[in-house]
Amino acid sequence: MSDQKVSFDSQIVNLNKYHKATKEAEIKKLKDGQREATKVSDLDTYDKNQEEIDKLEKEEPVKTVETESQPPEISAWITKNPWFNDANDERGGVAEGVWKSCLNKNPTWTNSQVLAHVDSRIESLYPTTPTNPRRSQSNLSENNTSTTRRSNKGLTMNDLTAEERDNWNSFGSELFKTEAEFLKAVSATRGK
């Protein structure tokens, strides 16, 4: 998709360089002819060369014009996905790779079919709505008890991690009057 556009733009740039160089060479040749014409007092040749120089200087190089070189569904897809032309966004390169791979494997597919495949592949690799990986996990442990955390009020000594239990054994019983105070402190460190 964009390889064609880059190639087209590159050809236009090269054409402009070539056109500019040949125009400058032609103008130089005409000015040299004018110098010779003034040496021999040939005003007709001088005027003729000046007309040619004026005509060449008025010419404009080929401009890079956005033409509808792409089918409308591709242009619409690119408009819908502005990240495609963003050099800092890897999705553009991935989409282009998926596009090429899909066309190689399915040469009879239409642009719309290929774009639908690209969309689904990009969505699977870069989901627009983040998913919580824990949602798909069961909330039951191996012994079929719920593993969901209780609220801060329900935190018990059984809910402590091994490190937190070691902390209770090392200094918790000395610093805190009750287990409940220690559990509140643990809960606060967890951000709950």
pTM: 0.36
Q: Cα angle vertex 144, ends 142, 147, to 5°?
A: 80
pLDDT of residue 65: 44
pLDDT of residue 117: 92
d(CA 133, CA 99): 29
pLDDT of residue 146: 55
> How many Cβ atoms are within 10 Å of 181's Cβ, its own excluded?
12
pLDDT, tens only, 53-94: 888 888 765 554 444 467 888 888 888 988 888 878 888 888
- What residues of the chain score a pLDDT lower than 70? 1-15, 60-69, 130-154, 192
Which alpha helices (H) appear in the chain, and where do they start and end?
A: 2-39, 43-58, 72-80, 91-105, 111-125, 162-167, 173-175, 179-189
**N residues, the chain:** 192
